[in-house]
Structure 1
């Protein structure tokens, strides 16, 4: 689950033979056409428009910010009549046809965001119905309808089902649930990559550990979404804290514990994950590290994610500024999962920065708590209003100066 899904979209189109949604892409160029005013981010949305919009709106909701109405309308307007979402539709007024590449990731991300915002039951209901219609016989989902199930797609769909009020374990195809699909991608507790998850089996059916897929699978196995909350400290399927175990049968909870153990070891040395792009030199992978923080905290409590969280706080500001709204959202989710203040994330106000990448959110409504905090003088209320106005005033400058985005 990373910032952009361009590699996966190209793979679905047959341009790339085998690409994971975890793969990074170079920052996309500025679009040659005028972007919709409700869209977050200022670069080409062809492969990530719905994805980045969904993450931005969900992150805003997570920090009690009410998104601009036109931002929400843009997202709902991207839905096809059959309930599915594509990565981006430049002409949403035109009916979707066979050339429109709908996908499970964009659809599930939109469901998570719109379910959290509330009031969009018709939109999310149709989207969930579509997701169920393209569920694979093994219980999981691939990026594109009919594609082989992968851990990333299955994980994000589980989060969507849960957000929409479904019981993922009861959403079955051929008698198999999404959890069955994830467990098939779990590596054993011995050998290289012990306890991790694979993205997909290779052509010979072998499983190779993939950190991004593991983070997605851990969150999915816990029945959570992007905005996962901190789990119980020391939680493990076998009560052993961080050990890898293989009970018979293996449960989703234990598989999540095993996967979290793998991630904890992966970030133990440097505090971050590294890029796995073939042929490229190793470099810190900010997005996947943020996802790992969410997975670690959701499975074993905030303390378990302390080291990669600290690394992100010290190093991720420049990456997020370049990468845009989905990157800021990932950091907001990392802060949320660990109980960290997103308005002071290593000195960066993630909320203000996220808000500045798109239409100004709706004004913050005064609360009784705020009025009491300032002794009824209203100073707290005016501080919140002033903060919102300041953020709005900075949008034009930040949009004009910001460059985009790595996957």
Structure 2
């Protein structure tokens, strides 16, 4: 069914053709979270003599921001998204990613050209995203095999993975690693340490029947001694794709009948983790409930903030996970909300286009069967391609009316009822056209029937003339 944001995008096209589109009023534009987790030990800087842009950013890298914490992450996301859209990247972009791999098979978040690898700074998240990017591109079996061997070698005894090797596991890192294993066809049930599989590692972070009903199915980031277990938004969102057996890019699966089901807890269940067969459904049910309660977007509090603000990244990962879990209908509202509100996250950071955010939205749009070439009025594919080295083959599709700025369906902060600004423009346009047509017909009628005893007199009535549309 067409939701209002989808109709709003169509209405924008009519408004643009009529020359009536106006500048948008931005809504829900909270300061975006970082696209990748920080690793304080990661190296920085580019030695003189290495290829770089005038800003010091390596020439083959997407984005203009400091790559210290997210270089491999954002590069991998960009390559996955562009490959999905059949945009062939520049050789320099692929080679930059390959050159970041260490001899032991892992990737750090970023290392400057010529800087030796430090095992302690290699990270599972960067490695898994690179695996998914190279698998998507094809033709890179050797570095992919070395990487999956590295991931398997750094699995914790409980089956989980940490961000950096040797640390306690966390839900986000475990989920992202499982995405990488699944992308190359490895079953997490067969990736194990001391009898604990990858599925066991993920399940350890999910809240089950021993927790309050409004928390069941959610994931916590990492248990802490003396701290009550509580749902974590981004952990729950990123864990869903893995629990559903998915990876990037997301492809549609068989649809489930009805909405996702919360775990059936009748008091007789053990206090242990949920069975893997129930994990994705339970997480999807929790996330769907949060979306419904918060206007089809997820909220999160940044440290020191008094109130929660929209979390674009978690919302996008939730859409990806819901689609992979067979619940595209439950993902549609959040996808439409992103179309109406996420442009500032993708393209209006201090360094311009954020390739990680933009690529995530491209992947989200396609999973939700929306057009990434006109996602709420923004040509995300072109934005992403323009943020890095010129591709061999550029974007070749999409709505010619799409812009590189938000154009339709920006929703108000306190509503998601579907009547976006773009939709209202469309309605107004139709009303204006209808009114003009009625006036024209009325004038013709009067001209055709002059008053008795007078000659035909020209109609002198004045003519009545006759918006748009964001932790790792």
| TM-score (norm: length of structure 1) | 0.79
1:360 aligned residue: 390
> 1:198–1:213: 8 Å Cα contact kept in structure 2?
yes
Structure with greater Cα Rg? 2
Kindly tell me: are residues 303 and 168 of structure 1, through their superposed partners in 2, closer, same or farther at Cα, counting changes over 3 Å?
Answer: same
Among residues 93, 99, 102, which one is paired with 1:80 in the alignment?
A: 102
Q: Deviations over 1:98-131 (max 9, x none)?
A: 5x61111111110110111011111111111111
Among residues 356, 359, 362, which one is paired with 1:329 in the alignment?
A: 359
Counterpart of 2:127 in 1: which secondary structure? helix
Among residues 324, 345, 352, which one is paired with 2:375 in the alignment?
A: 345
2:125 aligned residue: 105
Among residues 279, 285, 290, which one is paired with 1:255 in the alignment?
A: 279
> 1:85–1:106: 8 Å Cα contact kept in structure 2?
yes
Greater mean alpha carbon deviation, residues 246-255 or residues 165-174: 246-255
1:264 aligned residue: 288
Q: Deviations over 1:47-84 (max 9, x none)?
A: 00000000000011112221111100000000010111
Among residues 191, 196, 208, which one is paired with 1:176 in the alignment?
A: 196
What displacement does 1:267 show?
0.9
Kindly tell me: are residues 60 and 32 of structure 1, through their superposed partners in 2, closer, same or farther at Cα, counting changes over 3 Å?
Answer: closer
What displacement does 1:95 show?
2.9
> 1:137–1:173: 8 Å Cα contact kept in structure 2?
yes
1:116 aligned residue: 136
1:398 aligned residue: none
> 1:221–1:255: 8 Å Cα contact kept in structure 2?
yes
> 2:323–2:331: 8 Å Cα contact kept in structure 1?
yes
What displacement does 1:94 show?
3.7
> 2:216–2:262: 8 Å Cα contact kept in structure 1?
no
Tell me: higher relative CO, structure 1 or 2? Use CA pairs within 8 A at least 6 residues apart.
2
Kindly tell me: are residues 235 and 115 of structure 1, through their superposed partners in 2, closer, same or farther at Cα, counting changes over 3 Å?
Answer: farther
Aligned ranges 1:3-402 → 2 under 5 Å: 4-7=35-38, 9-10=39-40, 34-91=56-113, 93-97=114-118, 101-189=121-209, 190-191=211-212, 192-204=214-226, 206-234=228-256, 241-245=260-264, 250-269=274-293, 270-280=295-305, 281-323=307-349, 324-363=354-393
Q: List structure 1 segments (4+ residues) > 6 angstroms apart after TM superposition.
A: none
Q: Deviations over 1:164-184 (max 9, x none)?
A: 232221111111111101111
Question: How many residues in Structure 1 have an aligned counterpart in Structure 2?
Answer: 349
| TM-score (norm: length of structure 2) | 0.69
Structure 2: how far apart are the matches of 1:406 and 1:153?
Answer: 12
Gaps of 5+ in 2: 1-32, 43-52, 405-469
What displacement does 1:206 show?
4.3
Kindly tell me: are residues 183 and 119 of structure 1, through their superposed partners in 2, closer, same or farther at Cα, counting changes over 3 Å?
Answer: same
> 2:233–2:300: 8 Å Cα contact kept in structure 1?
no
Kindly tell me: are residues 123 and 277 of structure 1, through their superposed partners in 2, closer, same or farther at Cα, counting changes over 3 Å?
Answer: same
> 1:3–1:52: 8 Å Cα contact kept in structure 2?
no
Structure 1: how far apart are the matches of 2:137 and 2:110?
Answer: 21
Counterpart of 2:193 in 1: which secondary structure? coil
Structure 2: how far apart are the matches of 1:126 and 1:207?
Answer: 36
Structure 1: how far apart are the matches of 2:275 and 2:381?
Answer: 37
> 2:385–2:394: 8 Å Cα contact kept in structure 1?
no
Counterpart of 2:325 in 1: which secondary structure? helix
Structure 1: how far apart are the matches of 2:377 and 2:261?
Answer: 31
> 2:158–2:193: 8 Å Cα contact kept in structure 1?
yes
Structure 2: how far apart are the matches of 1:83 and 1:300?
Answer: 34
What displacement does 1:297 show?
1.8
What displacement does 1:331 show?
0.7
